[in-house]
Structure 1
Amino acid sequence: MASCSTSLAPESVNDDDIIKSQPYSFESLYQQQGIDQSWQQLLQTDDLKPLGTHTRHGSLGAEVDINNQLIETGPYANTPIDAVKRDMRLHTLGHPALDSKDFAKWSRWYQEDGNTQIFRLFKDEVNTSNKRKNAARVETFIPSQRWLPQLGVVREFGARFTVLKSGGCVAPHYCSIFQAKGNNVDHWSVMLRVDSDGALWFYPREDLSKRQLISKNAIGRPFDMKVLDDGLNYEMFIDGQSVGTGQWQRTKEIGFRWGIYVGRSAVPEDIIVLVTGASMK
């Protein structure tokens, strides 16, 4: 994996809304053909059985069509997903590391349209791959692009995010839509989170009281996010402006995850997040 030598110089954040785009209506960005079963209906099928175990069976959902012309703009618009070529993995309710060849079987939670990944969680859903309570998620990651911290070497993640629904992103955990995360459960350094009102937050690991409000309402407003991380220092940018820096020492491998992760909270409403052109350097 190539390295990025960009500086991690801190910048101040003012109280103004940092996202540059105005909101688009849900209907102008997102259409679907067919219906998605309720969680209660899905549990009556064999899609995730036996519960509490890893399954590769999958579950199909309604076919989603997004407005690529409005969503796929900016510096990441022309970056292809290339899930097979990049050996991408999918972590969803029924399995923590699905191969890209299996992605199509999990269209209830994950689909692709152009250069955009479509992540969805539905009301009342919970983790079924083990006994961990709640912990609903649908995230992608690339195991081969994890790295050990190296002095003077900065890694970069970048993508365009569009949050369409966030009613299920409730306290205490909200929804993480990006994590700089290592290979154990307590190894994350920084997250990008959205709450049930659509507010977007910078979340630092070392002191959660230093979290920063990026936007009071990100719903329907595509924005570009970039993170720089050298294994100790990290910095996040939204639409080209720094929104926060921090330090968290990592000694094991570091990677990036993106999609939807709910954690300890229940999911009282549906959640939809689009990620365009996810790339790493």
Structure 2
Amino acid sequence: MRGMVLVAVSLVILAAAEHAEPEVSMVSLSSDDACQSMEPDGSCALNALQQRAKKTTTASASEPEAASTGEPTDEILLALGADPLKHYAQDCHTACKGGGWCPDFCGQGNACCGYKDPNSPPECKSVDFWPVLWGHTCVFPNAVPPASQDCVGRGDGKTMKLYHQTSAEIGALILANGFRAGFRGWCGGAIYFASTPESTFSKTSALESHKGFMIEANVSVGRVKTMKSTCDMSMTGSKLHEMGYDTITFNPVDGDEYVIYCSSQVISTKAVPLHR
């Protein structure tokens, strides 16, 4: 009898082991564990994803593999200028009045799409992760809404070679899809660049900062307005453009930064070696 009990207990233990969660290997990400930021509070100001139209994107041999196609984490979504999905796995067709971009119901940067719907708008065809495989639900596309009319023709004229340091994961998304403005920063929600590769290190020193991957961008800066060291956190693209400028430059003590509000001003991007 005792032997039978021992056998039974052994079988239960084996069964439990078979259904246990797989052990996760903790790999150090010390070189690319946070997001580029050029704001006073260290949160992400410069961030990714823009449509590929009129963009030349070149990756070096050291370019990382494309980002995971699994569900994007809240940290990554915020770093890419998008909200975490609202109304997760719920039907969105009625609230969004059909498929397509739906920031009010799904969150900024997100859309309402039907899984493999042949009539889906273009943004829905770039989705990697689907919460549900039926009906229409809120998803995060690897694209962004069309640029505002205010961005048409911005930056015509002078161009500069500028730099942005971020994580390998976000860097891969930027190289594949382009830059997109973040939510906040010294000069408000915009796209921030450093003037030299070296200065990106001090600008990614906050604990929340992504680092470990360098992007060189050819940017059409056009008419540049010089601002004080604290810039203006209430600044927007519309305000700047009404002043007759396309780009802001300011120096928050650790080197010049260049700030744009239209991703269409980024002419090309490429990964470059990370040397301090």
Q: Which TM class, normalised by the smaller chain length? A: under 0.3
More helix by share: 2
- TM-score with structure 1 setting the length: 0.26
**TM-score between both structures, scaled by the size of structure 2:** 0.26
Structure of larger gyration radius: 2
